[in-house]
């Protein structure tokens, strides 16, 4: 079945970097754009950016530019999200999510990873 499996929880100190992975299975990895969304404890959903698994091109909202890097490895069907210069406000559950239409840059997200808790604390 179609699924996205993310790496496990992380605890990081302020100023450090974190990398979260998301491995896809059950579909053609390079045919669907992947997005990242985060959710701070008790809060709503925040869009972080997008990666094209086919060519590796990315787009991030201005809020995250300079701190966020998304990459992919087509040999393992995995996308990565690296966030640097972490601060306490980055404490959140991070999700990868697939767009529901092949080759569509954006859209509704029909498949989600299980989420990865990232805690930033000194």
Partner 1 sequence: EIVLTQSPGTLSLSPGERATLSCRASQSVRSSYLAWYQQKPGQAPRLLIYGASSRATGIPDRFSGSGSGTDFTLTISRLEPEDFAVYYCQQYGTSLTFGGGTKVEIK
Binding site for partner 1 (CB under 8 A): 35, 37, 44-47, 61, 95, 97, 100, 106-110, 112-115
Q: Return the structure tokens found at 116.
A: 């990865």
Select 14 or 110, whichever has its Cβ closest to partner 1: 110
Q: Return the structure tokens found at 44.
A: 């709503």
Concatenating the DSSP letter of every residue in 26-84 gives: SS-GGGS-EEEEEE-TT--EEEEEEE-TTT--EE--GGGTTTEEEEEETTTTEEEEEE-
Distance of closest approach, residue 14 Cβ to partner 1, in angstroms: 26
Please answer whether residues 120 and 10 qualify as being in contact, where contact means their C-beta atoms are separated by less than 8 angstroms.
no
Select 74 or 103, whichever has its Cβ closest to partner 1: 103
Distance of closest approach, residue 69 Cβ to partner 1, in angstroms: 19
Distance of closest approach, residue 112 Cβ to partner 1, in angstroms: 4
Select 11 or 110, whichever has its Cβ closest to partner 1: 110
């Amino acid at each position: 079945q179609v699924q996205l499996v993310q790496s496990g929880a992380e605890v990081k100190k302020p100023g450090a970097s974190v990398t979260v992975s998301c491995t896809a299975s059950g579909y053609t990895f390079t045919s669907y754009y992947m997005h990242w969304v985060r959710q701070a404890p008790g809060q709503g959903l925040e869009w972080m950016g997008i990666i094209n698994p086919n060519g590796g091109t990315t787009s991030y909202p201005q809020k995250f530019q300079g701190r966020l890097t998304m990459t992919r490895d087509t040999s393992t069907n995995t996308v990565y999200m690296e966030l640097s210069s972490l601060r306490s406000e980055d404490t959140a559950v991070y999700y990868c999510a697939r767009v529901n239409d092949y080759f569509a840059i954006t859209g509704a997200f029909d498949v989600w990873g299980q989420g990865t808790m990232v805690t930033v604390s000194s």
